[in-house]
Amino acid sequence: MKSILEEFAYGSILPGGRTFKWDSEFAEAMSILTSCEKKLLDTLNADEKALYEKYTDAQGEIDELTAVKSFIYGYKLGLLMTAEAFITGGDLISG
Question: How many residues would you count in the chain?
Answer: 95
User: CA 91 to CA 52: how far, in whole Å?
Assistant: 57
What confidence score (pLDDT) does residue 28 get? 95
Decide: 68 and 10 in contact? Cβ < 8 Å: yes
Report helix, strand or coil for 30.
helix
What confidence score (pLDDT) does residue 62 get? 97
In which residue ranges of the chain is pLDDT below 70? 1, 14-18, 90, 92-95
What confidence score (pLDDT) does residue 10 get? 83
Say how many Å lie between the first and final Cα of the chain, rounded. Answer: 47
User: CA 63 to CA 69: how far, in whole Å?
Assistant: 10
